[in-house]
């Protein structure tokens, strides 16, 4: 780490002032307060933190320590000293420098935004007060970040470079090194399933010569996910007491190879002896029983139990019991290795939606978004309708993201407000293309607007031009031509083909015009019936160079 000469000079000068200034050695009445050494920080900020005021009596033994401790605890100052002259309390400070800039070099595998967020959490950000004691912490935190990604050979060096106006530049040099590769994964304790079957479940894998595979790149997060995958695999197949007892990760001396050992205890396999429901049932009990996905004589399965609780909760949610609690409680007979399952149902109160609020739609009319929402105001809160509403909103091409939050109304236990926060994206595009083809010079123009004037309507215009062909087309779609959701699309085109401009044996000129009208009629939430009609006119003119085949074809009478 570089030596900050300017800081040493400031401290030496600061110490010299203290030596030449009369020190506090008695009590006195504070007639005024003077602050010295300020550059960026205002005097008002110092006085705000200083627990002393004009008119108060200063006592060296009590007041000095109290005042200095208060100023040091702000983290704004390197040094603080107090002295007086003729009734004036003088506060001399040396400000900590501010972080003027942060430079990152050498990071390729971890993006800059991720590293900057790590620095911010450690207190290193542009404009913040610089604390030299945090540099070592920053180095260690960045190393831990690289180690968790498998870069055990990564090196991080952090330097503070002085800048004018009491600022510093935090320069971070990173040497990432190579990601450590998993050479071997050892499974210990598995008796019911072979290594190959279990290893195939894992995202982590042993070293392979495939240059496109990243399975053998070690990651602590990936390994944690693999352990949970193993746990789920066993718990879904009856091994109620399965446990991963320990995991060892060893590194080769050159920090390039990793050896992983996963120790597990399978335990016995448990069978479900009985399944029952308990609690309150706002819907018929038999209907709820039909949602249970685990039966007597089945092996215990955490997945089936979780699916059952979700199914019952969703069914109760359709009736307005949006915050119903469904808990599965197993009673284990260790002697017989059998389990009695009880699903306790607590529907809670029926919840109604008071208001649906939409935020973030600066360009799109609110009615355009509300017509996609399947949850109604004043109706029971339905998690199923909320999920469907979010899906429909996310499918709108002019929305980048949709976040739905359910908030309880203060003072009530049966009402909620729904806040829908949307982020709008680009709604239009315009492109121009030009080039040379076998048909000569070609020019293409295309304009597309997915949300014209915020109405949700779509409009497209396109123009294509070559030496022999000119074509113009346009379409306009209103996805809600009627309030019931019937859509209408109008299309039109005009095309002119002059074959005399082409290097062909047959010459002719053809003008074409047409339009079409299409309707989309929703049959259900997931099915649409489309009905359309169209008209097209083609006018062909012959020349002296027109072939007999084309002339004879034109002369044919129209066929039904």
Q: Is residue 35 in some structural domain?
A: yes
**In terms of C-beta distances under 8 Å and separation of at least 24 residues, what long-range contacts does 464-467 make, across chains too?**
466/437, 466/439, 466/440, 466/441, 466/442, 467/439, 467/440, 467/441, 467/501, 467/502
230 in the same domain as 285: no
449 in the same domain as 383: no
175, 206, 237 - which closes a domain: 175
Distances (CA, A) of 354 to 115, 351, 370: 43, 9, 15
485 in the same domain as 549: yes
Query: How far apart are the C-alpha atoms of 463 and 470, rounded to whole Å?
Result: 8
- Which residues are 423's β-sheet partners? 401
Lookup: tokens for 155: 């090196």
Q: Is residue 560 in some structural domain?
A: no
3-state secondary structure 447-505: EEECCHHHCCCEEEEEEEECCCEEEEEEEEEECCCCCCCCEEEEEEEEEEEEHHHCCCC
71, 95, 119 - which closes a domain: 95
Output the CA angle 496-501-506, nearest 5 degrees.
Answer: 90
Output the CA angle 545-546-547, nearest 5 degrees.
Answer: 115
Determine the structural domain holding residue 229 and report its residue range: 181-265
168 in the same domain as 194: no
175, 198, 213 - which closes a domain: 175
Residue by residue, pLDDT tens for the chain (560 residues) are: 444 444 444 544 444 444 444 444 568 888 999 999 888 888 888 899 999 899 888 887 788 888 889 998 888 888 899 888 888 999 999 888 888 898 988 888 888 888 888 888 878 888 888 888 788 888 888 888 888 777 887 888 888 888 888 888 999 998 887 777 888 899 999 999 999 999 999 988 876 665 556 677 777 888 899 999 999 999 999 999 999 999 998 888 888 888 999 999 999 999 999 999 999 999 999 999 999 999 999 999 999 999 999 999 989 988 889 889 999 999 999 999 999 999 999 999 999 999 999 999 999 999 999 999 999 999 999 888 999 999 999 999 999 999 999 999 998 889 999 999 999 988 888 888 888 776 678 889 999 999 999 999 999 999 998 877 889 999 999 999 999 999 999 999 999 887 766 655 567 778 899 999 999 999 998 999 999 999 998 887 776 666 666 666 666 666 65
392 in the same domain as 318: no
Domain count, the chain: 6
Query: How far apart are the C-alpha atoms of 142 and 161, rounded to whole Å?
Result: 19
């Amino acid at each position: 780490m570089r030596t900050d000469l300017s800081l040493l000079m400031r401290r030496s000068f600061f110490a010299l002032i203290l030596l030449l200034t009369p020190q506090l050695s008695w009590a006195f009445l504070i007639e005024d307060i003077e602050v010295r050494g300020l550059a960026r920080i205002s005097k008002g900020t110092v006085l705000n933190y200083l627990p002393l005021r004009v008119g108060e009596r200063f006592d060296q033994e009590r007041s000095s320590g109290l005042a200095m401790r208060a100023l040091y605890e702000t983290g704004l100052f390197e040094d603080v000293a107090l002295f007086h002259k003729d009734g004036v309390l003088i506060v001399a400070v040396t400000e900590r420098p501010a972080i003027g800039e942060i430079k990152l070099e050498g990071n390729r595998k971890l993006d800059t935004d991720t590293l900057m967020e790590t620095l911010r959490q450690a207190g290193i950000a542009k404009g913040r007060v610089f604390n030299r004691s945090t540099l070592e912490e920053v180095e260690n935190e960045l190393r831990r970040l690289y180690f968790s990604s498998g870069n055990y050979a990564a090196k991080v060096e952090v330097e503070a470079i002085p800048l004018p106006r009491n600022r510093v530049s935090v320069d971070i040099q990173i040497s990432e090194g190579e990601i450590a590769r998993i050479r071997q994964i050892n499974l210990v304790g598995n008796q019911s399933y072979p290594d190959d079957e279990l290893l195939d479940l894992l995202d982590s894998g042993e070293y392979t010569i495939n240059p496109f595979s990243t399975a053998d790149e070690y990651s602590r997060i990936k390994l944690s996910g693999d352990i949970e995958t193993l746990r789920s695999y066993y718990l879904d197949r009856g091994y109620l007491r399965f446990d991963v007892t320990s995991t060892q990760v060893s590194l080769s001396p050159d920090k390039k190879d990793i050896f992983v050992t996963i120790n597990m205890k399978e335990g016995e396999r448990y069978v479900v002896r009985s399944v029952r429901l308990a609690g309150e049932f706002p819907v018929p009990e038999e209907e709820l029983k039909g949602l249970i996905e685990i039966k007597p004589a089945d092996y215990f399965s955490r997945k089936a139990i979780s699916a059952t609780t979700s199914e019952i909760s969703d069914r109760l949610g359709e009736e307005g019991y949006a915050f119903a609690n469904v808990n599965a409680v197993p009673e284990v007979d260790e002697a017989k290795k059998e389990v009695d399952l009880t699903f306790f149902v607590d529907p809670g109160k029926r919840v109604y939606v008071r208001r649906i609020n939409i935020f973030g739609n600066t360009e799109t009319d609110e009615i355009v978004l509300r017509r996609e929402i399947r949850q109604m105001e004043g109706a029971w809160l339905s998690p199923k309708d909320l999920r469907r509403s979010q899906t429909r909103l996310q499918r709108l091409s002019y929305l980048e993201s949709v976040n739905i939050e359910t908030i309880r109304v203060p003072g009530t236990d049966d009402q909620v407000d729904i806040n829908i926060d949307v982020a709008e994206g680009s709604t239009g595009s315009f492109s121009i293309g030009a080039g040379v083809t076998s048909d000569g010079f070609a020019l293409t123009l295309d304009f597309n607007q997915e949300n014209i004037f915020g109405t949700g309507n779509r409009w497209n215009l396109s123009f294509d031009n070559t030496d022999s062909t000119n074509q113009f087309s346009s379409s306009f779609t209103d996805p809600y031509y009627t309030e019931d959701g019937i859509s209408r699309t109008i299309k039109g085109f005009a095309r002119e083909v002059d074959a005399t401009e082409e290097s062909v044996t047959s010459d002719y000129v053809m003008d074409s015009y047409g339009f079409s009208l299409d309707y989309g009629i929703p049959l259900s939430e997931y099915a649409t019936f489309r009905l359309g009609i169209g008209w097209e006119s083609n006018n062909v003119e012959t020349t002296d160079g027109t072939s007999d085949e084309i002339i004879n074809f034109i002369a044919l009478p129209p066929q039904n």
